């Protein structure tokens, strides 16, 4: 029933390495397969490809670009999906208005950049606005229907219909692009060889700096969240609430306050992701549904209620989307769909989820 925010068999850092060693000891063959796959993937990325290889996979530049786009898109999906999974894990509330919060954050961030000219400040604005909306939703509506998860879900659905229509009213149907700040513009050279010129000179991959920076930020947020969940008092409360929220409230903790905080935090993250999305691609009508779908897929694949699961799922779904678009355009969504089907068939609770 309970869902995990990590591999709970070990909480302390020292035990974690042992657990990995034990797992390898118990499953030598899968461990070997994983190790070979990792080494092969690293070779695929770092080394220049032999001649016959490009016939199968196409140009290496294409492959590497799809990979980088996939991983950085995964970072964006992670930002959206962690809030979703956190809210679901703690409150059992499938927040179908999460995509609307993402879009709202994007629009608020856009307004903030227009007014203040500061890209970084817009994150604060988007976070606060979305957090306020999220807290209000939890405080005024969901608090009154605790435990009725179907009804809560239906309410979030109704809210998402209203929100998206109101946002069309205010911002119209045109796509809006948030400008990348000057200091993040342009490409960054990476030590990855994509091709070798006829002169024998290696060509290195150039990749947009802003995407790399945002991906690193997403990783840092993920690590920060993991630390907050495992090292702070409020994190302990959240994990306890995920496992048994009745027990937590019986022990005298203020569960309602915790719910509001988590809802606000999850919504705020979605809002910040809106700016990232507006910088990467654009924000427009319909993006709310796109990112709701992405969150659903990430959470279904990664495991419901699990933050490491959200990270894993986000990378998988992001890469699947980008590789799909690069290699078989007509059936790109089929790839993510197939991944979802396989995961559901083998592990219905998701890769890192717990029953």
Binding site for other proteins (CB under 8 A): 92, 94, 96, 141, 148-151, 153-155, 157-162, 164-166, 169, 289, 292-293, 296-297, 299-300, 304, 329-334, 336-337, 340-341, 344-345, 348-349
Give me the least distance between CB of 353 and other proteins, in Å please: 10
Report residue 286 as tokens: 């319909």
Secondary structure of 142-189 as H, E, C letters:
HHHHCCCHHHHHHHHHHHHHHHHHHHHHHHCCCCECCCCCHHHCCEEE
Give me the least distance between CB of 90 and other proteins, in Å please: 14
Which of residues 51 and 345 has its CB atom nearest to other proteins in the complex?
345
Give me the least distance between CB of 21 and other proteins, in Å please: 32
Helix, strand, or coil here: 192? strand
C-beta of residue 309 within 8 angstroms of C-beta of residue 88: no
C-beta of residue 202 within 8 angstroms of C-beta of residue 311: no
Which of residues 153 and 282 has its CB atom nearest to other proteins in the complex?
153
Give me the least distance between CB of 31 and other proteins, in Å please: 28
Task: Give whole-number Cα distances, 116 to 119, 210, 302, in Å.
Answer: 8, 20, 38
Give me the least distance between CB of 325 and other proteins, in Å please: 9
Which of residues 168 and 176 has its CB atom nearest to other proteins in the complex?
168
Residues 6+ apart with CB under 8 A from 344: 300
Which of residues 55 and 169 has its CB atom nearest to other proteins in the complex?
169
Which of residues 10 and 153 has its CB atom nearest to other proteins in the complex?
153
Give me the least distance between CB of 297 and other proteins, in Å please: 5
The torsion of the CA quartet 191, 193, 197, 201, rounded to 10 degrees, works out to: 40
Which of residues 79 and 97 has its CB atom nearest to other proteins in the complex?
97
């Amino acid at each position: 029933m309970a869902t995990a925010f990590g591999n709970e068999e070990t909480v302390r850092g020292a035990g974690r390495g042992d657990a990995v060693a034990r797992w390898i000891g118990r499953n030598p063959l899968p461990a070997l397969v994983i190790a070979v796959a990792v080494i092969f993937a690293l070779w695929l990325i770092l080394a220049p490809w032999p001649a016959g290889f490009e016939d199968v996979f196409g140009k290496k530049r294409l492959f590497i670009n799809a990979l980088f786009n996939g991983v950085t898109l995964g970072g964006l999906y992670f930002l959206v999906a962690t809030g979703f999974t956190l809210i679901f894990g703690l409150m059992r509330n499938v927040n179908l208005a999460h995509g609307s919060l993402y879009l709202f954050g994007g629009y608020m961030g856009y307004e903030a950049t227009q007014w203040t000219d500061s890209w970084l400040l817009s994150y604060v604005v988007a976070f606060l606005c979305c957090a306020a909306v999220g807290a209000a939703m939890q405080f005024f509506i969901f608090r009154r229907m605790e435990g009725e998860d179907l009804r809560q879900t239906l309410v979030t659905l109704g809210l998402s219909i209203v929100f998206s229509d109101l946002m069309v009213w205010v911002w119209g149907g045109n796509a809006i692009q948030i400008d990348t700040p000057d200091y993040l513009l342009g490409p960054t050279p990476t030590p990855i060889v994509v091709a070798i010129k006829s002169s024998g000179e290696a060509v290195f991959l150039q990749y947009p700096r802003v995407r790399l920076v945002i991906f690193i930020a997403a990783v840092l947020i993920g690590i920060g969240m993991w630390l907050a969940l495992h090292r702070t008092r409020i994190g302990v409360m959240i994990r306890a609430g995920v496992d048994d929220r009745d027990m937590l409230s019986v022990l005298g903790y203020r569960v309602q306050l915790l719910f509001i905080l988590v809802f606000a935090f999850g919504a705020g993250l979605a809002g910040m992701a809106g700016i990232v999305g507006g910088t990467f691609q654009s924000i427009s009508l319909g993006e709310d549904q796109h990112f709701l779908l992405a969150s659903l897929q990430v959470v279904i694949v990664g495991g419901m209620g699990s933050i490491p699961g959200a990270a894993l799922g986000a990378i998988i779904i992001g890469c699947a989307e980008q590789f799909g678009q690069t290699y078989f355009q007509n059936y790109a969504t089929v790839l993510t769909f197939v991944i979802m089907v396989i995961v559901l068939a083998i592990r219905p609770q998701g890769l890192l989820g717990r029953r």
